[in-house]
A = this chain, B = another copy of it.
């Protein structure tokens, strides 16, 4: 694990890149003549606890504002600050800077630690989705206890997304937006080490089915070998109700 000092250096490097990019795009970014749209964006994003996508931002902003450029500028403005503008699950939100975690411990609510089994199952779902319980067990070489999946469902980070078109029609699992949000991932492609895993072919866990696609995807659109869940099945599988963000920590 990287030390905190290293992390901070990393953070600064990222920040410098962002700032350079933004400066290149908008050479005349003087603080006084700060465009009003930045104030508006700031206010909207700051006020909300939920990440907002560009479409809903555009809906609230005056006509004709280049939302993407304004977001890039705002991201640069805040890159050096204690609060950063980040993109998670393709939505924008302000969050405290990652290197200040030590300062924020008191804000931290009771965090439940996931068991190693749960972490492993979560990783398998994230990297191999859509994936069935049998496939998870094939990778781990052990039966997954019901409790492990329940705990993960309760976090709101995974969801049953369909049924595999194989005998027994087992549920397929995938990750949610809350998962991306929890781990500050813009998209599933940003999963750490995904490229290496793809390279080794180790992602191809699928039992021979003729449909194997060795790239994880949380695209809600079902794959060819997936059937939709029936009405009401989702509620059953997901109960109890999960808060969209917030208390879903590990």
What is the interface of chain A, defined by CB distance below 8 A to chain B? Answer: 1, 3-5, 7-8, 10-12, 14, 31-32, 34, 38-44, 46-49, 60, 80-83, 94, 96-97, 100, 102-107
Contacts and interface: CB of A to CB of B under 8 A. Distances in A.
B80 A40 contact: no
A96 B47 contact: yes
Number of copies: 2
A32 B103 contact: no
B7 A103 contact: no
Contact of A94 (B12, B46, B103, B107): B46
A46 B96 contact: yes
A44 B104 contact: yes
B34 A80 contact: yes
A48 B14 CA distance: 26
Contacts of A97: 39, 43
A39 B96 CA distance: 9
Contacts of A81: 34, 38-39, 42
A34 B97 CA distance: 15
Interface of A is mostly: helix
A44 B103 contact: yes
B1 A8 contact: no
Residue from A3, A7, A32 with most neighbouring chain B CB atoms (10 Å): A7
A35 B32 CA distance: 20
Contacts of A7: 4, 102
Given A1-B1, A42-B81, A43-B82, A8 B102 contact: yes
A200 B14 CA distance: 39
A210 to B, nearest CB: 43
Given A43-B82, A46-B83, A46-B96, 6 more contacts: A1-B1, A4-B10, A4-B105, A39-B82, A42-B83, A60-B103
24 contacts: A3-B10, A4-B7, A5-B14, A8-B102, A8-B105, A10-B102, A11-B103, A31-B31, A31-B80, A32-B80, A34-B80, A39-B81, A39-B100, A40-B100, A41-B82, A43-B82, A43-B83, A43-B97, A44-B82, A46-B46, A46-B83, A46-B96, A49-B107, A60-B103
Nearest to A74: B82
Nearest 10 pairs of A and B residues by beta carbon: A42-B82, A43-B82, A39-B82, A11-B102, A43-B96, A46-B83, A43-B100, A47-B107, A47-B96, A8-B102
